A = this chain, B = another copy of it.
Amino acid sequence: MTNVIANPDVTRYQQPLCSCPTAATDPALEALVREIIGRVADKWTMIVLEVLAEHGALRFSQLGERIAGVSQKMLTKTLRQMEADGLVLRTVFPVIPPRVEYVLTDLGQSLGAAFCGVWIWAEQNRQSIMTARAAFRAREAAD
């Protein structure tokens, strides 16, 4: 636990998070946007987005091979939800054995582009985060 002794002069005021005109004004929209982000920012969704953006159309099993650690159940679930949200197109080929392909829709590709900023941020600030974590652990250890 940190016990920083205070500097009472801290009265910084920041700018709004970003130029999203309606965000702050309409709480209903805000809630909806949060919900969308919550669903879409999910671990596997992000990775599927990434893999499909890189490889174009892929079969179910090809996706499974490229996404280390995903279970069949979670891959199915993630793809189904992405399909429902209009992020991927699921194409069933009527052959035996079955062949199912997944591609990003335009919407899915645009989401990938939108996440780009977060990706770049994580990459660029990785070191700062590691340093901050080490400092926090040190403070904790010192009580």
Contact = CB atoms under 8 A, between A and B. Distances in A.
Interface residues of A, number: 81
Contacts of A24: 54
A11 B3 CA distance: 59
Interface in A73-112: 83-86, 89-94, 99, 101, 103-104, 107, 109-112
A16 B89 CA distance: 18
B14 A104 contact: yes
Nearest to A49: B17
**Copies per assembly:** 2
A114 B22 CA distance: 18
B57 A10 contact: yes
Nearest to A43: B38
B118 A53 contact: no
A122 B33 contact: yes
Interface of A: 2-8, 10-20, 22-24, 29, 32-34, 36-38, 40-41, 43, 46-47, 49-50, 52-57, 83-86, 89-94, 99, 101, 103-104, 107, 109-123, 125-126, 128-129, 131-133, 135-137
Given A37-B118, A86-B132, A107-B132, 8 more contacts: A6-B91, A10-B103, A14-B54, A20-B123, A23-B119, A37-B119, A107-B125, A111-B121
